[in-house]
Structures are given as C-alpha cells and as structure tokens.
Structure 1
Amino acid sequence: MERRLAVVWTSLLAAGLILVLPPALCITTSKASPRPPRLIGCVFVNRGNITCRWEAGDTPTTSYTLLIQKKRGPEPFTTNSSLTPFTCTTPDTSCTADIGMSSVRFNFCITVTAHSHRGDISSELRCQPGRIEVMLPPVILDGVEPVSGMPLCLNVTWRRTYAVFPVSDSEIRAGVLNSQIEITAKGQLEVQVKNVTVKAYSFLVCLFRPDASYAVRLRHRYRGPQSPWSPWSNARQGRTAEDAPSAAPAFWRQVKQTDKNGWRFISLLWKPLPHFLANGRVHFYNVTCWTERAQILNDHGSCRDLHHASTSCTLLLPAEPCSCTLTASNSVGTSPEAQIWLLGASETEAPEPSSISVSPVDDHNLDVSWRAPADRSVSGFVVEWFAVREKNSSILHWEKLNSSLTTLVITEGVKPMELYAVSVKALYGERGAGKNRTIHIYTRQGVPSAGPNVGVQQISGGTVELTWSPVPVELLHGFIRSYTLCYAATNQPARNVTVPGHVHRYSLENLSPGNYDIFMQANTVVGTGAAGPIINVYIGPDEVSIVMYAVLPFVLTVLAMVLMACLAQSKIVKQKLCQFVPDPSNSSLAQWTTLEVT
C-alpha cells in the first residue's frame, strides 16, 4: 500500500513539474538538423575548368564533392540527368572541376555535398549563367601609338582569341566589358592602374604627359565585380607626341665688369628646362635685349644662334637701364618668355635681405635662410654660390626662388673642405636685383695640406725678419686661426712661436750665431697642417761684430756730447759761484806785512 502511494506521489510531482516549467526548459530527445555547406562563389574558365569555394557546415566532414552540370535552356536539373556531370572531390573547402571544351555560355547548376560518418548533406542548389563569374583570357596588345595633335593621348589597339574569348564583337560594342589599363612611365618604379572604356579594338587613352615613354598593359572583366579580372595582356611601349614648352626657363645674369663709360660686360645664364616642362627636345634658345627707350640692341655678342646645349652667353650692355628676354623652342612651339632687368650703371641698388645665415647640413649640403627686406615688395630671390678659387675661376651656381620662399638647401656643387661664397639677392621686378651680402663657409673643415712659403726679409745681428704669403685657398681646407713658426739651430732642440692668423711678418730675435732651419705650419680648428718649405738661415759671428761696429761710434759720439755738455755746464757754475776773488799779493796788507818782518 505504501509503495503504491509513493508511485502516485512521484507521478503527480513529475506532472506538476511539466506543467510549471516553461517549454524552453523541457528536455527533448529530438536532434536539430545539421547546417549544410554554403557555396561562396566560383570562377569559370571558358573551355577549361570551374573552381568553386564554399563555407563548411557544422558537422565533422571527411570530404566534399563538388557537382557541376550544364543546363540547356529550361531543362530541369536533376542528379539523374543524362548530361555528364563535372565533379571533383577534396577534403578542403575549394575544388577545381575540369569541364573540358565546354563553353561558359551555358547555364550551370552547382551543389556541394559534405560526407561524414553520420551521412551526407548537400548545399542549396545554385543555377546561373557561366559568364556571370567568368575569368576572361588575357588579350593580345598589338600597338600603343602617339596621336598627332594630341600630346596627352596614346592610341591602344588589341585583339582577342575568338575560340576562348566568350564575348562577341556586338557585346563589346555594347560596352559589356569593364576594362583597366596599367601604365608605367619609363625610368620610374611607380605603376598606375586606371579604368578605361573599351567598345572597340582600338581606343584612345588620354592620361599621359607630352613626349614621354610608357609601358602599357590591358585587362578586362565581364560586366561587373562578380566576374574576376582577366590576367594582364602583354606589355607594349608607346611614346606620346611633343607639345610646346609649358614654362619659361629659369633666367639670371652675372655682371662681369664695368668700364669707365658704364658699359657692362654681362653673362646671361639659364637652366635647361626639365623634360616635363620642355614637353619635347629643345632645338634652340633665343635672347633679345633692349634699352629703357625700347631700343633693341643689335650687338648680340655670343648670344646669337644658341643651340639646345647652350646655358649661357655674353654681351655688352650700355650704361642705361636694360632688359633681356629668353625663350626655348622645340619642334611644336616656343615657351613663354623669361625676363630680367638691369639697373643703370649709376643707379643705386635696392636693399639686400636681412638676417642671412648659412649652416652646413652635411658634407654636401648647405642650409641657407634669410628675411625679406622690411617695408619693401619683392618679386623673388636669387641665391648664388661658388667655390672660392685663387688660381682658376669656378662655376657660379644659382637658384631663383619666388617671393614666398626664404630658405634653400643647397645640394649642387658642394664638397667638404672647400671654401664657398654664398650670397642672397632680392628681386624687385623691373627695378632688377638689389644688393647682396656674401657669407664664406665650409661644410666641413680639415687641416691645411700645405704650409706658407717663408722668406727672409732682413738679417740684422741676431735678428731675422721673416715674411710669408697666405697659403692658396684651395689648400687651406679651413679657416686659419694661427701659424706655427718653427726654427732650430744645428744640434739644438727645435723651438716654435705661435703667430696670429692675420699676421704675415715676424722677427726672430736674440739668435746666437749658427745655422737655422725655419719653416711654418698653418692651423685651423681641426688641427695643424702640413709643414711649408724649409729655409736655411746662417747667422755668423760677424753679424754681431758688425752691429757693434755700427753702434759703437754712435755711442761714443753721444758720450762725447754729454761730456762736453757737462764741461760747459761746470764753467757756468764757476762763474755763478766765484764771481771775484782778490789777489793778496797785490793788496796793501801784503806790503805792510813785508815791512814788519824786516
């Protein structure tokens, strides 16, 4: 009886729990359906293969089978279709099925079946035209040619292999192709890829610079982003046509000398146009100069018939204000004019820039900065620099800058341990250039590679007067701070004297008789340089005797004169102190004394 009651109560409790608990907490013995693999996409290669990718399901899988079957028109797809399926099996999540010579113009139905120990499960059936995801074969690029009168354009021609390219001519004309062109400028590593519209086997691309060479490749895809890009075509070289120069050359001048009548010998200087501004090969330059009264100067000096390699010419200009223009010409046209103005020989130049500073960046670069003149409107600046030479003239380097720039890093024509003169001028439009201020600087100093040549100016007794000339600036390699004058008698320790760098004469005194070797060294902040040539100076015993013989008469004469002066002085003293002393023998007292004795 008790056992029956326990069973009843247990049944009632279980029924109550079932009624009370929500459905989510109810325990069920049925299992959820496994998730099948999901097809991501395929790549169709006409008359080749189809590669598909998929996402795995949630059941452990031993392998997958990709099933692809062509579908003709409205024919329903069944796994038991009479058409031969294309399949491949793989443990991975992608697989490539060979379709032989089948065209991708058909519709295809695709499934992926996952195999496991628990059974097989397949993805949803997907049917689509093969060309939706077709990868077109690479086309053949036949030519990339310039276009006359269109220097920014190239004409590109291409063709396809009909047997494997599944797009017809009419479709191409209809614009079903998406196309891209790859451009690589000659001598550059940067590669550009640009979208282009292609509706024929010949088309214009206007993305280039004049007179420039490019390597070009082409690729297509069918309709849109679902279709992958084809491989790139073969590369073809092409060069655009020339255009007229698009900018004036940088133009400057250097006043070499001025004669007594004010005529000036002028060097006109310019820089070759960079190729991207010349837009072709420059054939010649043309220079024209005229005076303030608009009188064109007929004497062109060497500024006539200037060929493409010219970068300077010289001519004489009168004392009055003048102006000169320069143009560059190629096969298509002429550049804009570059113009410079020169003040009259008697006119006062405008102020120079202020706060000019020059400092080395490294062995081959100099940093220059300045401030524009206060309360003056300037049209630009010119920075000039050249290596200071004593024997040979050096090249004048220069850079023309617009008015907004007040700094320049010099990178051209600079070497360590060479002295450079750097100057900055302000440009005042038709008022020409202002005054300049020059600063001398080394990028890096060293020690002099030669010493001064010492010469004997005079030997007098034990004194040797020496003179020397400065070391040539090319051999200094730094700013001279001082000289070391070294001298040594035979079998005696060497001695030296430090002489300030601005001094070029010195006397060695109190030298004993003997032979002396004398030489000099120049000193910079880095150290002492090489020794100059050694000279030998002989000081004999006679040198001192000769001096004594020369000095003794003079000394004796002086002493005699001093003695005579003393004697003369003693007579005067006597006269003052002993004016009159009576003679006792002549006095009356003398007679009286005599009588008294007898």
Structure 2
Amino acid sequence: MAGRGAGTPLLLRLSLLLLLCQDKFFLPAGTLGCATVAVHSPVVPLGSAVSASCTIQHKLCHISEQGKVQITWMLDNEPLAGSQHQGLGGAVVSNLTLPQLNRTQARLWCCVEWNGTKQRVGMAKIWAGYPPAKPFNLSCLLNLTDYGLTCQWEQGADSHLPTNVTLKCAGARSSRCRRSRGQAVTGCAPQGGRSRCTVPRRLLQLYRQMEIWVSATNALGTAESEHLSIDPMDVAKLDPPALQSIQSIPVQTDCVALTWEVARSNAHMELQCELRYRAPEDPAWALVTGIVGQAGTAQRCGFLFGTRYRFQMRCRRSSGRGYWSEWSPGREYTTHEKAPTGKLDAWWSARPAGAGGLLEVQLRWKAPRRQQANGRVLGYRVTLSPRRRGRDPPAVCNTTGTQCNFSAPAGTRRVYLSAYNSAGESAATEVVLLERKGQPLAGLQVVPGGERSLWVRWEAAPTPAAAYVVEWQRVPSVPGHCSACWQMERDGATTTALIHDGIEPFQRYNISVFPLYTDAVGVPVHTTAYSQQKAPSYAPKLHLKSISKSEAELCWDPVPVEEQNGFITSY
C-alpha cells in the first residue's frame, strides 16, 4: 500500500500525458496521422507560459514537397500565429509560445492552409491550475461501536486540477500502524469529493500515539495538513449514559437522588460526567459538574417544590480528553409539594355599606411566585380573625381567583389571607385596612418604557413610606381588561416602577400611585400616559353652526379617546 501511495504523482502525470496528448486527427482522402502536436507540459500553473510545436510530414499528408504549406494555430476558437521553419526529412515545423494561459482548460489546434483550404490536423489539450492547497482544520473522532476513526478537514481553495486526497496514518515513535512497519500508509480515501473518511479498526493501534494527516496531490505538487499526534482513544466519543431513577430524599427536603448506568461500550473506562436539569419556565439549564465514576448515585439540592424538571446526563473519559457523549434521553420528575410560604401582596378598598353598620371590602392579591407556591395553588382563604391553636376560623371567602368582595362588621381593621395546595396551607398574611388619609407623593411622571410598558417615576413625600401601590386603568375601560391593574413595590426607598401587564400602544391609561405608611394609606396622585402615540384614526366631521356676511361659526364632535391614539394638542 505504501509503494502505491508513493508512486501516485508519477502515475498521475503519465496518465494525464496519455489522456491529454492525443494528436492524431483524420484528414479527407487518406491523410491519416500526418501531423504531430507536442506541448512542453500538458499541465501548467495558471497564468504561466505554454510552449508547443506542430510537425507536418509531406508524405503522410500526401502533400508534394514543392507545395506551399502554411501552419497556423487556434486556442479553442481564437486564432494565433507561430514561427515556421523547415525540419528534418522534409518536415515543416511551427513553434508557438503563449506568454500566459489564463483559462483552466484549453484545446490547442494545429491547422494547415494548403491549396486555399484550412484544415485542423492536430490538437493537444492543456490543463492549467494550481498546486493543491494545504488541507486544514483536521479533526478526528473514534466511534466506539465499530472503533473506526472518522476524520474530517477543510480542503482550501480549488486547484482546478484532478487532485488525489488521502488520509494517512503512521506510528509515532515506537507505535506503528499495523500494516506499515513505521512507513506512512493510506488510511482511507474520501469518496465523492467529500472531505472526510473513516480509517478501519484493523489499521489502528488503540492506547498508543499515532500521527494522522491529510495529503493532497495533483500534477503540480503535493500539500500536507498539519500532523495530528493522537491516541485514537483520546478522541473517542462515548455513548450516553442512561438515567435509571429519580426520587426525593428525604421526602420533606428540596433534594433529589438520581441513579444512572453507563453504556455497555464504556463499562471498562473511568468516566467523568455532567448532569443538567431545568423546569419549563427556566431560561437556561442548571449544570452539575464533577460527577466521577462508572455508575452510581448523585444527589442535588435546591429544587423548587411541586415543580416538574427534565434531567439529562453525559460522560467522557476521566482523563479529560476526548469528546463528551451526547446528552442522554431526558427523564422528567416532579418534586413533591409542601405548603405555600411567604406573604402575599394584597390591596384593598373599603367603604361603609349604608345604615347596616357593615363595611363593604374589595380585597385583591397577587398569586405567589414559583419559589413560594411550592406546587399548584388550589385556592385562597380570607378570614376576619387569625388561626388559633390549630382551629380554623370561618372564611368569608374561599376562592380559586385572586379577588374577593365581602361584608365585614363596621370597625374591622384586619383581615387574614392564606393560600393552600395539596400539601397544606400557608401562614396567614395580615392585611391592615388603613384609612386613605396619609400624605400624597410630591410629584409623579410617566414615560414610555417600550411599545407595551410604562416607566412610572415619583417624588416621595417627606414622610418615609413602607411600600407603594401602582394602579393603572385603560381609558375607556374595556370588558376583559382588569378594571384596575395594580402592583406593589415593597421597597419603601424606591421611586420607580415598570408596568407592562395589559399595556397596549396607542391606548390611554390613568395611572395612580399610593404611598403605604405604617399607620395610613397616602392620598393617591394621578396622571395619564401612552406607551406609544400616532396620528388620530380620523378627523372630526365639521358642522356649520352659523354664518354671516363676515364670519362663519364651525363646530365638531371631539374624536373619541379610543380613536385619538395619543394626546391631541390642537384642532
């Protein structure tokens, strides 16, 4: 195999000479083979000079020696002129030199003008191109199923010439490819013009260093890629492990234990593995590194309760060399629930209910975040007194929604709100029904935050606030939209809030901000705003109210707010 590989350039040149230098052409009435066309080389660098000669034998062409013969040339269909002189044995010889050949393939014709006619009597085909480009970006991967070494590379610029590309291997130092005894061998040849091929297992020595490189050869030269010195096992891509089971440990913690098995083809190797997991709502995977061993159990804590996660694992050799396996097929697991935790954001309005001595209360709240819900919230309870000694007071509301209207005795100052799931009920959030008589904000400004959001900025009152509530409502109100969307800012030092729930471009919104003090709710400050504006949807229709000799009075109906698409500055 080595001998054949080494002789390839010479064989390629000979085959091109035999293929390209076909110089015998037919003339009418028995003038077969009367001209010989010879070129210095049928394969030349693109842009270089080309030398050729054409020899005419009078006897073979049945031309009398006294007959005047004029030899001309054509490069494809382009006429050319060469020199002409008398050769040995009565032959007529014409020489031609092309200073530059700027086409990758050409036919060079020798033509004879005799007795007023012009005949093509010989031709040589010429190839022009470049030596092969140096292959680059060579990389290899060992398949553990059949232990074939697949390598791929990039070939570089086109040489415009037939090029023989082979992937070669050799033993490094004391190691040898089995068939070569230290000599370079052709490991494999790519098929169909591809830049990849696979060296079979019988040509490899595993766990020993080998040199791998790509050789590209054409009639103008040979180029080799950089040599890779690798142990084929160092570029093995392992088969993925298999997750066997996932369970919570112990039951009431945020920890899970996973067991896995490695693929059978990897069972004899020391491995390092990685675990990744995510919930559907997570923007990215969480990654656990440094898992060592062939198979076993891994433990991980910090999972949210009552949440469905997807787990995957991958492994590679513990040496850190080689490729990671593909991620294993995903396995899903839902952690167990526990009772909701944390306080709920709540907002209210209250007013006396006529002469009955009752208070009409509207209570609204926000659903707990994932970290506090600890599972799927099944409902909410509102009571007028806290739970004592494990006894649940009667509920004035038990609902799956986030709003409740109820009547309470006049003078009620506190209500208690809790959430529950299948694992239990949260500690109650105490809602103090404070009067709205505190100091208002010193100033309020709203600017667009985007097409569907608004930045609310305010200037705090002299009295420090414990929190703020921002309310907004579309003008005019639309069924299906919240009658008054709201959010709570628990940081009393903040003076900004971004609102985006229900905000749409070209619609007007009333915005109010309430400061919450320890003993009262501040009087709200109001403003209106758009997240984006454009021209009104239509112009109002004019009506002639009165007319006289010197003036006319016109009137029109204002454009409805929902069609204004912004603040109208003038008509």
> Which of the five TM-score ranges fits, normalised by the shorter chain?
0.5 to 0.7
Contact 1:45 1:104 in 2 (8 A): no
Partner of 1:282: 377
Residue by residue, what CA displacement relative to the aligned partner does 1:505-560 show, whole Å, maximum 9, x if unpaired? Answer: xxxxxxxxxxxxxxxx532599999xxxxxxxxxxxxxxxxxxxxxxxxxxxxxxx
Instruction: Give the match's secondary structure for 1:227.
Output: coil
Q: Percent of aligned positions with the same letter in both sequences?
A: 20
Tell me which of 558, 565, 569 is aligned to 1:523: 558
Measured in 2, the distance between the counterparts of 1:413 and 1:55 equals 53
Measured in 2, the distance between the counterparts of 1:208 and 1:391 equals 41
Instruction: Give the match's secondary structure for 1:277.
Output: helix
Letter of the structure 1 residue corresponding to residue 313 of structure 2: L
Measured in 1, the distance between the counterparts of 2:151 and 2:234 equals 13
Measured in 2, the distance between the counterparts of 1:305 and 1:236 equals 40
Alpha-carbon distance change, 251 to 304 in structure 1, aligned in 2, over 3 angstroms: same
Alpha-carbon distance change, 278 to 124 in structure 1, aligned in 2, over 3 angstroms: closer
Contact 2:381 2:417 in 1 (8 A): yes
Alpha-carbon distance change, 266 to 49 in structure 1, aligned in 2, over 3 angstroms: same
Partner of 2:115: none
The answer to whether 1:423 aligns with 2:512 is: yes
Measured in 2, the distance between the counterparts of 1:178 and 1:382 equals 52
Tell me which of 398, 404, 408 is aligned to 1:312: 404
User: How do 1:76-87 residues align onto structure 2 when only pairs under 5 Å count?
Assistant: 87=187
Contact 1:423 1:438 in 2 (8 A): yes
Residue by residue, what CA displacement relative to the aligned partner does 1:158-200 show, whole Å, maximum 9, x if unpaired? Answer: 43442xx1433xx6xxxx3111234343266644544251532
Measured in 2, the distance between the counterparts of 1:363 and 1:253 equals 30
The answer to whether 1:177 aligns with 2:177 is: no
Alpha-carbon distance change, 189 to 398 in structure 1, aligned in 2, over 3 angstroms: closer
Contact 1:144 1:216 in 2 (8 A): no
Measured in 2, the distance between the counterparts of 1:228 and 1:235 equals 20
User: How do 1:449-488 residues align onto structure 2 when only pairs under 5 Å count?
Assistant: 486=545
Partner of 1:216: 311
Letter of the structure 1 residue corresponding to residue 485 of structure 2: H
Instruction: Give the match's secondary structure for 1:219.
Output: strand
Choose between structure 1 and 2: higher helix proportion: 1
The answer to whether 1:328 aligns with 2:428 is: no
Letter of the structure 2 residue corresponding to residue 273 of structure 1: P
Measured in 2, the distance between the counterparts of 1:397 and 1:192 equals 34
Contact 2:477 2:483 in 1 (8 A): no
Tell me which of 460, 464, 467 is aligned to 1:372: 460
Measured in 2, the distance between the counterparts of 1:167 and 1:339 equals 59
How far did residue 124 of structure 1 move?
Answer: 9.6
User: How do 1:85-164 residues align onto structure 2 when only pairs under 5 Å count?
Assistant: 87-89=187-189, 96-99=198-201, 107=208, 110=211, 131-144=233-246, 149=251, 152-162=254-264
Instruction: Give the match's secondary structure for 2:372.
Output: helix
Measured in 1, the distance between the counterparts of 2:537 and 2:228 equals 90
Contact 1:196 1:205 in 2 (8 A): no
How far did residue 312 of structure 1 move?
Answer: 2.1
Partner of 2:44: none
Contact 2:507 2:562 in 1 (8 A): no
The answer to whether 1:45 aligns with 2:143 is: yes
Alpha-carbon distance change, 486 to 409 in structure 1, aligned in 2, over 3 angstroms: farther
Instruction: Give the match's secondary structure for 2:557.
Output: strand
How far did residue 331 of structure 1 move?
Answer: 2.7
**RMSD (Å), alpha carbons:** 5.5
Measured in 2, the distance between the counterparts of 1:248 and 1:366 equals 26
The answer to whether 1:340 aligns with 2:431 is: yes
Measured in 2, the distance between the counterparts of 1:239 and 1:138 equals 23
Instruction: Give the match's secondary structure for 1:228.
Output: coil
Contact 1:386 1:394 in 2 (8 A): yes
Residue by residue, what CA displacement relative to the aligned partner does 1:287-335 show, whole Å, maximum 9, x if unpaired? Answer: 34359xx9xxx996xx535133343232324237x22332212233444
How far did residue 252 of structure 1 move?
Answer: 1.1
5+ residue gaps, structure 2, are 1-134, 565-571
Partner of 2:299: 204
Measured in 2, the distance between the counterparts of 1:333 and 1:435 equals 38
Letter of the structure 1 residue corresponding to residue 407 of structure 2: L
The answer to whether 1:229 aligns with 2:229 is: no
5+ residue gaps, structure 1, are 1-36, 450-476, 500-520, 530-598
How far did residue 368 of structure 1 move?
Answer: 2.8
Alignment TM-score, normalising by the size of structure 1: 0.53
Alpha-carbon distance change, 198 to 243 in structure 1, aligned in 2, over 3 angstroms: farther
Measured in 1, the distance between the counterparts of 2:321 and 2:335 equals 35
Partner of 1:242: 337
Contact 1:384 1:396 in 2 (8 A): yes
Instruction: Give the match's secondary structure for 2:438.
Output: coil
Letter of the structure 2 residue corresponding to residue 167 of structure 1: A
Partner of 1:553: none
Contact 2:175 2:209 in 1 (8 A): no
Measured in 1, the distance between the counterparts of 2:503 and 2:330 equals 42
Partner of 2:443: 355
Letter of the structure 2 residue corresponding to residue 180 of structure 1: E
Residue by residue, what CA displacement relative to the aligned partner does 1:366-400 show, whole Å, maximum 9, x if unpaired? Answer: 443211111x1210111223346799997232211
The answer to whether 1:438 aligns with 2:526 is: yes
Letter of the structure 2 residue corresponding to residue 197 of structure 1: I
Partner of 2:486: 398
Measured in 2, the distance between the counterparts of 1:328 and 1:64 equals 71
User: Which one has a bigger Cα radius of gyration?
Assistant: 1
Alpha-carbon distance change, 231 to 486 in structure 1, aligned in 2, over 3 angstroms: same
How far did residue 427 of structure 1 move?
Answer: 0.7
Measured in 1, the distance between the counterparts of 2:208 and 2:553 equals 104
